[in-house]
Copies of this chain bind each other. A is one copy, B any other.
Amino acid sequence: MSEALDSAKSFLKEASVKDCNADELIEALKLVKELDEEFYENTLKALTINNLANTAVLMPDYMLNDLLNCFSTSAVAKAIEELESDDATDLIQNLEHLDESKAKLILNSIEKEHKKDISLLKTYEQNSAGAYMQTEFLQAFLNESLQEAVQRYKKLKQSGELDQVQQFFVTDEKGVLQYCLPFGEALLWNFDTTFKDIMKDNSDKLIKNFVYDNDDIHSVVNLVKSYDLSVVAVVDKNKNLMGRITYDDIHDYLQEQATEQIYNLAGVSDEAEEETVSKATQARGFWLFINLFTSLISANIISLFSGEIEQLVALAILMPIVASMGGNTGSQALTVTVRKISLGDIKFSNAKHIIFRELRISLFNGAFFACVMGLVAYFWFNITMLGLVIALSMLINLGLAGFIGSVVPLTLKKLGYDPAVGSSVILTALTDALGFFSFLLLAKMILL
């Protein structure tokens, strides 16, 4: 343990003098907090303002709390001013979540222009393009020359107000977006040319890709992917230029969304995992509790057949196999369906088509493993009919598992829920219950 602590500490020592990678800083802070609270607090207090700002955006709640205790309102406000508007807004919203009155004080200490941007971004719905955009961009006007816009860009760049820009967003004098001129195009023009003339001569080549601020972020990602865009402009319903979404926002979104999906499928909350052990335990415990409840239902089904099990203990030995195979088959179908929904791969093939595919796959495998398991059971217990019973119940359970595995997420999606949340639990509940029930009922009817 001490080796990891030492390397984290030596890394953190640098964070008071130079800018460090924020992800690594967070990981190091988390470790040090658990093992050396005093060193942790001193490090936090000594962070450069840039490090402070960049890590604050990524901090779990408990660490943000420490930050609120270590720094004055105005110091936090100063750090927030260092951030781009989208990150600043995320941070303010995290702080509001923790301590509403303190967050309000901080917001009020932020310089006016920044505050206005944050207040605007806060109004957007969580999954809208507006919530992901930043309000820092390079605007140019139809009536000005390339030279004038370049000069303005130079000043903005020197003052550090604008970073990672790759094009001019050209608007009319009212701010309505006309087109985007990538720097690569701009380089090829005489700098005396006005943006209006560039538009006239070149309208077929100009990039007009933009999204509306209320568009779903998912459709923005699809647009970016389809046309390999590095940046998209964001406009309001009147096409007024509002902001931009850049490739790094898309990276972050893709990675966060994947993590959320993987975690949700396993009954884990991505947010709680970033917090303390106790928060993570509670969030996982919630899904375990639901699982316990459904397991008790399955146990009740088994108890209906107590008499049969007493008569033939082989039933107790074999029944978990049917349930386990059904659960696995179902979770294969579930995972594929959830992922296809999220990747937008179901534009043309409708739900029926997906369900039909999953049903075929699970029935093929069901038929195969029914034969295998029928033979195994027959040779193991030397009861012909027991082989038939387990074969039949395998076929039924695996077939239904594929059906359920695709229907559950599609239904959740249709009803407006996240298809990854809770679907595994519903699936296991059904495949367990059906596995035990079909096997024991068939045994009762055919065998005993």
Interface residues of chain A, those whose CB is within 8 Å of chain B, are 1, 3-4, 7-8, 11, 21, 23-24, 27-28, 30-31, 150, 153-154, 157, 164-166, 182-184, 186-188, 224-226, 228, 230, 246-248, 250-251, 254-255, 258-259, 261-263, 265-268, 273, 277-278, 280-281, 284-285, 287-289, 291-292, 295-296, 298-299, 302-303, 306, 309-310, 313, 315-321, 323-325, 328-329, 331-332, 334-336, 338-339, 343-350, 352-353, 357, 360-361, 364-365, 368-369, 372-373, 376, 428, 432, 436
Contacts and interface: CB of A to CB of B under 8 A. Distances in A.
B285 A365 contact: yes
16 contacts: A1-B350, A27-B346, A224-B251, A228-B246, A254-B255, A262-B262, A266-B332, A268-B332, A268-B335, A285-B364, A285-B365, A292-B369, A298-B321, A313-B316, A316-B319, A320-B432
B184 A166 contact: yes
B313 A306 contact: yes
Copies in the complex: 2
Contact of A328 (B262, B288, B296, B360): B288
Contacts of A24: 347-348
A286 to B, nearest CB: 10
Given A27-B345, A258-B254, A365 B324 contact: no
A166 to B, nearest CB: 6
A336 B259 CA distance: 9
B365 A28 contact: no
A259 B258 CA distance: 8
A448 B360 CA distance: 47
A319 B348 CA distance: 45
Nearest to A228: B248
A329 B288 contact: yes
Given A182-B183, A228-B246, 16 more contacts: A21-B226, A157-B184, A166-B166, A183-B183, A183-B184, A250-B251, A254-B255, A263-B339, A265-B265, A273-B336, A277-B361, A285-B369, A292-B321, A292-B325, A295-B321, A298-B324
A318 B319 CA distance: 13
A376 B27 contact: no
The 6 A-B pairs of least Cβ separation, nearest first, read A258-B258, A183-B183, A316-B316, A266-B335, A247-B247, A228-B248
B230 A247 contact: yes
A186 B165 CA distance: 13
A27 B328 contact: no
A368 B282 CA distance: 10
Contacts of A299: 317-318, 320-321
Contacts of A309: 309, 313, 316
A280 B30 CA distance: 42
A357 B277 contact: yes
B302 A365 contact: no
B352 A1 contact: yes
B328 A287 contact: yes
Nearest to A360: B277
A8 to B, nearest CB: 4
Nearest to A11: B348
Given A27-B347, A30-B349, A306 B295 contact: no
